[in-house]
Structure 1
């Protein structure tokens, strides 16, 4: 079996050979030219130096997918013409300018490799997954802000990353890593998706249902791409007019997802109705009781929990016990049976338990 190495992807063979020789003094390095078969196993790191840009081909798609999903460092040599979308195809790479000298590139590469090794394999994978998922969610919101339906393929990829991360590292580690980044609405989307992934595991859902629940959670607030930041980040109460703008986001989001028929109707239902409440007090349609589907009920619980335990412009984050008390008081609005089933997720998110059976929310 071939030893893992730094994978140097380059269309300038002479420069690549010099750079590979410098890297090879410290770590194994392999040069791959565009179109050539990529090694099957994960490398130590990717170093992408493509003077002519990424080929528009299956090979190019394979390369970018692997840099996004293999949870190893990626260095990307920027040529100056790429916008954020071009760089984001590679996940969340460390970007270095085209004129960088070999010694500087090697130094950055070794620093990233050392950091990954010191953090431990699980922690390194988690960090890479958070970075890549954040990049993907940013792209989804950028598309929505431009009036386009977010990429179903990128939503699927982001969902798989969240499911894998929560399965391996647990919901508390996922949240802890997310909270190290100040990414606003993107953090909330990834937090709710993490809670949904943990909830799906607690309920024993099958693979298809887990994926659908986590994806619905990831996309639930996509309509907020059209909500002004001044409203989202306002430190005080919203005016009636501002509240009307805020309450438009479920309808906007559902309409965006319905544009090209790429999303399941159940996902769109969650995006439109995640603020509906069983007693009819929610919005935008004032649905009650049985008119609110199971998937909506699940995501609504995750959304409320995430919102309560996040720091907001108008208040500090609430503790787990305080959030549990508030959620328990919403039993007439949220599904009481599902709230009881959700209790272990609340406890795990606080680090109170690793595994549990038979716990209920405070006061239930």
Structure 2
């Protein structure tokens, strides 16, 4: 029997609602695979916690999380707490302390869905973005000077280290070797004249070690356009923290919206827990209405299964999602249906159990 410890952080807004459905899937996986047991603890760290305690998590929060195999996150953020507090006091410390330097986001049009791109279908939209997740444009270096005066100024420094860039680019190329052997790297070296040429140099150095992988380096503005006009040309896209963040939201829009977009914050060396989450945010406008789409949360659990060396279970979860989408009988309002979060989650669990008979 393999016991897997899971730290569960439902978070804010629709986070607890979609997490509840995700945990139902974990229970189903235990029934399907008799040799797996998930032992989870739930932590109420959130903006509500901040308003009560003055911090997003306890002082020893990271030490607590360190002991788990994986982390499941629902969503963080609320109108009552500034984003720079909720993000910088919970999500980013987890990513950085646990060296989750790979942010992995699939851009895949699932069966049963149509892309807003008129002439693009499932075979055209199936790639993955590897986003650098711990440095780059989201570094905590800079500050404000002369606040409240006419000559007030703000400085934000980008930080690109050889170590940080090399490891994310190596990961992207190794992933491409297992897929369709194509890497596209995002840059803006024509306008950002220090960090981006440095990024490009490292991409070319590592590309030279993978002669069988086709490598293209695109300026970010052109790359965003190509996501729309020729997404079928992409296999693995590697990008800095900011560029990857923007590209993956665009990619999610091309394949059905943020309600369908999962992500993994990965520590490839497994020295620390990796974290899996939807990228849709806390959606306070629909929180508590019971209509949030739980698919991104459940797909993130499929990614977690892949990370835990359970590719068959990962594929089974994704197949269940596609079957339910293709049947179009139980869908939340964002997908054109009238089902509640719990109804869609329940249907996904039923489909998962039905498909498991061939597992």
**TM-score scaled by length of structure 2:** 0.29
TM-score by length of 1: 0.29
Q: Which has the higher contact order (CA 8 A, sep 6+)?
A: 2
Write 1 or 2 for the structure with the bigger share of strand.
2
